Amino acid sequence: MWQEGLVLPADRAALFGGPGATVWLTGLPGAGKSTVARLVERALVTAGRPAFLLDGDNLRHGLNRDLGFSAEDRAENVRRAGEAALLLAEAGLVALAALVSPGAAAREAVGARHREAGVPFLEVHVATPLATCRERDPKGLYRRAAAGTLVGLTGVDDPYEPPRAPALVLEPSRTPTPESAAAAVLALLGERGLVRVAEGLAARHDPPRPT
């Protein structure tokens, strides 16, 4: 039987500066999900709004360490990340998820779990074109796929299904820098009443590094 707690969502929202929610960034490898999510996480935490990033790469070191890259394992990877995000959001945080999450059905199932729980779920499509991802290739995955040493790379020889109804689409033509993309995510959270748009909620620029 479901065990009801004594703390109301409104009590948590008062404590955390807004209701818990999940922002789910999906897109091709190298699209910029981790980069944007890190900036959003820092902007929120710096402004006093608890947030936590679930990065697909990091989850594969622990919670999802037993999973590979078959279609079934990718779906299970997304399901578990979705459950973890939901727990964080129910606890009152802004959960940020940065996972390729190539399957539309698996992502929609995560959205459905959030709806059942009455927790906002914002799907953000980091819609960087494949050619740009390939040029950036921050982890050398596209290079390895081209060399034939990596099989089953999403966007190359594994499918990517874009979101059917994303809350936000980030395209490099409109948000060319990571900071501008993060600002668009923060604006979305503000519009939905999930964060108080206080001063200091802009994605901060890093100070120049000493040379």
Ligand X SMILES: Nc1ncnc2c1ncn2[C@@H]1O[C@H](COP(=O)(O)OP(=O)(O)OP(=O)(O)O)[C@@H](O)[C@H]1O
Please give the residue ranges that form the binding site for ligand X (CB under 6 A). Answer: 27, 29-36, 57, 98, 100, 136, 138-139, 172, 175-178, 181
- Closest-CA residue to 17 (of 189, 204, 187): 189
Residue nearest to Mg ion (CB): 34
Q: Tokens representing 141? A: 């995955």
Reply yes or no on whether 70 is catalytic: no
Tell me whether residue 140 or residue 193 sits nearer to ligand X (CB atom).
Answer: 140
Residue 101 interacts with Mg ion (CB under 5 A): yes or no: no
Minimum Å gap between C-beta 128 and ligand X is 7
Tell me whether residue 138 or residue 193 sits nearer to Mg ion (CB atom).
Answer: 138
- Cα separation, 77 vs 60, in Å, equals 8
Tell me whether residue 57 or residue 73 sits nearer to ligand X (CB atom).
Answer: 57
Q: Tokens representing 155? A: 């966007």
- Cα separation, 113 vs 126, in Å, equals 22
- Closest-CA residue to 31 (of 106, 109, 141): 141
Stretch 13-52 residues interacting with Mg ion (CB under 5 A) = 34
- Closest-CA residue to 14 (of 87, 92, 85): 92
Minimum Å gap between C-beta 58 and Mg ion is 9
17 touches 195 (CB < 8 A)? yes
Residue 77 interacts with Mg ion (CB under 5 A): yes or no: no
Positions that interact with Mg ion (CB under 5 A): 34
Q: Which positions are catalytic?
A: 101
